[in-house]
Every structure is written in C-alpha cells, then in structure tokens.
A and B are shown apart, each in its own frame.
Chain A
Amino acid sequence: MVKQFGLRPFHRMHDGILIHITLDEWPADVPLPEGIKLLETDDGVVHPFWRIVLEPNRTIEAIGGMFRMNCSLDATSKKFEHVMQNVGWKSNGMLFQEERRTTFRYTHSVEDAYVEVSLLQSKDLETTRVTIRRVVKHPYAPPIAEEESVEENVEPALEEVAK
C-alpha cells in the first residue's frame, strides 16, 4: 500500500528541496534506540527533515534530526553503538570526545553514505541531546541506455524512409 503523504509544505532551495518528516517516516536504516524522543523546545517539537540537493554530477540525500534521550551520555552512546552495528553500519570511531559531548561517525559498506551521531549531555547528567545526520551520495549518470535504444529504433526507420 502506498503511503498517503497528502499535501505538505516544503522548502524550495535553489538546488533542491527540504521536507519535514515525522518520526514514523524516519529512515529504517538508521534505527533509533528505544526511549528516544523528538526534541521539544518552547516553540514546539523540532521535526526531522529530508533534504534533496541536486548537484551537476550527483544527488545528495540528507536526513537530519534532533532528539532527546532521558539517560546519560555514556548510556546513550552505548545504545547507539548497539543499534547501528546491528544494521551493518561500520563505526569510524569518534570524531570528537570531550567531557560532555561525543560525535560518532559510521560509514556504509555498500552505499556512499555516512551517519554522524552527535551527543551532548545536559549539565544535570540526566538527559542527552542527540543530533543525527545521514548523508547518502547518489552519483548522477545520464540515461545512456535509453538514448541508445531510441537511436537504434530510429535508424532503421529512417533507412526505410530513404528507400
């Protein structure tokens, strides 16, 4: 069954679009640990976004989201390591590590893709803010096969006309 997205607002960039998504639409290949919640500010819930950027030789697909976990940085970090390795992401280790913040990077074994998980522990040590960014790079290739097949079909027809 095709999901009914209905009408939804999107932001037009000069080279792509950005659409806010719900937690249900979060990509399954970046599993979220149990207990994670969308970040909530005084102005409302901050929804994740899906962003498509069209570059001349590639298409960039980026998913970004900000969340909150009601546990310490260490516990959150372990939960992420567990769920990410379960779905085949390869850990590239920590980009940064300080007393209250850590950033992990994971790469994909097949796709040109990576995930960055940035964790920042609150001062009371009870909650951790999580920022996730998944970037997939799709190389652009013109539809050569289609063009060739069109030419193949056209040539005999032209020859027939000449006769």
Chain B
Amino acid sequence: MNASNDFKTNTPTHFTAAILVAIAALTVIALSYALTITTPAPQVAHAASLAPGTERLLKQTALHLSKMQGGASVGGFPGFEPPDDDGKYKEKIKNKNYSPRDVNDWVKEINNFLKQIIRKNPEMTLEKILTKQGLTAKQIEEFTFALKDTELAARGMASYGVDYARAQALRELLIELGVSLW
C-alpha cells in the first residue's frame, strides 16, 4: 500500500524532475553551441566570407613581417617571439640585426603566403581581404606599410644576398593584390 502510494506520488515527481533536468541540459548545450558559432574572436568577425585557410596565411605573413619589425605586432596579429633559448636569434629580431640572407629567406616565405592568399581569394584586393578579416583601417595601413617596408629592404639588400627576382616577385604580388608601392 505504501509502495503503491509511493509509486503514485513519487513517480510523477521523479519523472518531471528528470524532464526538467534534461531540458536544462539541452538548453545549456544549445546555448553554448550558439555562443561558439556566433561569438568568434573580434579579429575574425568577418573571416567567414574569406576562403578557408586565409586567416592562417595572413597570420603567417604577419609573423614574417614582424621579424623585420623587431618582433612587433603587425596589423593586430601577434608579433614574432623568438625562442628564449636562442639568444643569437633573439638579438637578431629584437635589435633588427638581420642579414640580407635572413631577408631573402623571409621574403621567400612571404611571397609563398601571398601567392596562396591570392589563389584562395582570386580578384580580391589585400585591403578587402584584411577588411573581411576584421582589421581596422589603421591595422590595414600598418600591414600594408610593413609589406612596403619589406619590399624596400629587399631592394636595398638585393646586391648583398637577397635574390633580385624574389624582391621583384614580391612587388608583382603586391601589385596583384592592389597594393600601391607609391
């Protein structure tokens, strides 16, 4: 009798509680999912309309440009931080004490990233790409200026170890991306 009463009184309570817990859990899961897909990092607010992989390529480009800017952040992307255990490399970056051979290697990488960015986002200017990436006008200017600065360094060091064709290739990629050197 007691058991029967328990059944009548407890079972609906347990059942209702279980349903409420399940609804609450589903709500939490749904909310967290919604938050995940609607709240990206500020920098990638518009990155969805760029080709997949573009953000990574932009970050890599900025990282290499940063090497020529004393490790400073370029266009809001994280700056290059040389490994702590490599004092020589750290000195080279922090004191901008790089050699033409370094510039040659970095320009090669930058050209490679820019080529991929162009291939993935055909007929888009760098300004449009960076705008879609969520950069501010100031950050776009900074990113573009760092590219122009790199091109200048590559030209200046062309007689000392920077492959002239490589410096020229950087210029042509910039033109293709609608970046005026003047």
Interface residues on B, range: 20 to 34
Known A-B contacts A11-B164, A123-B94, A129-B96; the reply to A51 vs B156 at CB < 8 A is no
Nearest B residue (CB) for A124: B95
Nearest CB on B from A123, distance (A): 4
A112 to B170, CA, bound (A): 25
Do the beta carbons of B70 and A101 come within 8 Å of each other?
Answer: yes
Query: B99: which of A20, A42, A131 is its contact (CB, 8 Å)?
Result: A42
Query: A131: which of B70, B72, B149, B161 is its contact (CB, 8 Å)?
Result: B149
Query: A41: which of B99, B152, B158 is its contact (CB, 8 Å)?
Result: B99
A100 to B95, CA, bound (A): 10
The answer to the question of A95 belonging to the interface, with a C-beta cut-off of 8 Å to chain B, is yes
Do the beta carbons of A123 and B160 come within 8 Å of each other?
Answer: no
A47 to B94, CA, bound (A): 23
The dominant DSSP class at the A interface is strand
The answer to the question of A133 belonging to the interface, with a C-beta cut-off of 8 Å to chain B, is yes
Do the beta carbons of B182 and A95 come within 8 Å of each other?
Answer: no
Nearest A residue (CB) for B68: A120
A interface residues, Cβ below 8 angstroms from B: 9, 11, 13, 18, 20, 41-44, 46-49, 51, 53, 60, 62, 64-66, 95-96, 98, 100-101, 103, 118, 120-124, 127, 129, 131, 133, 135, 137
B interface residues, Cβ below 8 angstroms from A: 69-70, 72, 94-101, 138, 141-142, 145, 148-149, 152-153, 155-161, 164, 168, 181-182
